[in-house]
Structure 1
């Protein structure tokens, strides 16, 4: 790889790191090509970019950015996963894959400049995804006006039941 290619790769990694909300360093030592392809497909479906790069180039690319904390964890065979929209999705896919494949492990992560060790990444992966959280929020927001309408409908219904009972009572007294 010549200098121009290295500079291009560094710029590409830097651009992905700047756009990413989460970056996770993984150890893939011992994985076969098929296993790596399977992991990449799962990550791509979740909207996560996964790059295997030389550690030196990755350190240069991450220098001065929000994911600078990862520099000390780029050792041996490692790759970096960049999650853009939903940080939970990246953590979920990587944690599930680490459970199913003992050769693969999650080393360290950085969520918007804050460090995440392996335990914190596992806890992050247990959270609901962004669409699930938005669905719960909308359900809660919708429940308030719905309950308000039901409350007033019940008040009117009970008032009508009382009026109907009085009418029935007067009708039976008149007959």
Structure 2
């Protein structure tokens, strides 16, 4: 087997592993971004635990077919960057969507969440979901508010009884 084929097979295996491991994968067209803009995007993604890569579309198609992700090849045309979210399924979509609002050259193409292929509209919907930390904070806040009110009420009743 020639060396070039071995390299390609290794890349396909790497991509397949990343696709399997990731909670969410977002595909984006990055053509037209300046080096500074791309560097800024990569830094933001990295700081949020998202891996951002560019692979040959044919290799991504092969890896996706091995995983049974048929239909993704329609989104793999032209220059495509891939954001892999391993910890938070909404992070890659949210960060890329926010970045695309300020940088019109970046265009969301599609996504894969838990083996399901999302079109651009579903990716934008996914981006609108807050992060896990924010959702937990909201849940705790909604639990804490009634308890705080109850404690305040009991304290007021005790103060009133002591005053009598």
Secondary structure class of the residue paired with 2:15: helix
Kindly state the Cα deviation for residue 151 of structure 1 after the two structures are TM-superposed: 2.8
CA RMSD of aligned residues (A): 2.2
Tell me the equivalent position of 1:90. Answer: 92
Which entry has the higher C-alpha Rg, 1 or 2? 1
Unpaired runs of 5+ residues, structure 1, are 164-175
Secondary structure class of the residue paired with 1:72: helix
Which of 35, 52, 55 lines up with 2:54 in the alignment? 52
Query: How far apart, CA to CA, are the structure 2 residues paired with 1:55 and 1:124?
Result: 24
Kindly state the Cα deviation for residue 64 of structure 1 after the two structures are TM-superposed: 4.3
Tell me the equivalent position of 1:119. Answer: 121
Which of 12, 18, 23 lines up with 2:14 in the alignment? 12
- 1:157/1:105 CA distance change after superposition, 3 Å: same
Query: How far apart, CA to CA, are the structure 1 residues paired with 2:68 and 2:134?
Result: 27
Query: How far apart, CA to CA, are the structure 1 residues paired with 2:10 and 2:108?
Result: 27
Unpaired runs of 5+ residues, structure 2, are none
Secondary structure class of the residue paired with 1:81: strand
Query: How far apart, CA to CA, are the structure 2 residues paired with 1:8 and 1:115?
Result: 24
Tell me the equivalent position of 1:75. Answer: 77
Kindly state the Cα deviation for residue 69 of structure 1 after the two structures are TM-superposed: 4.6
Residues 27 and 83 of structure 2 are in contact (CA less than 8 Å); yes or no, is this contact kept in structure 1?
Answer: yes
Query: How far apart, CA to CA, are the structure 1 residues paired with 2:144 and 2:40?
Result: 40
TM-score (norm 2): 0.85
Query: How far apart, CA to CA, are the structure 1 residues paired with 2:123 and 2:97?
Result: 8
Count residues with an aligned counterpart. 162
Tell me the equivalent position of 1:63. Answer: 65
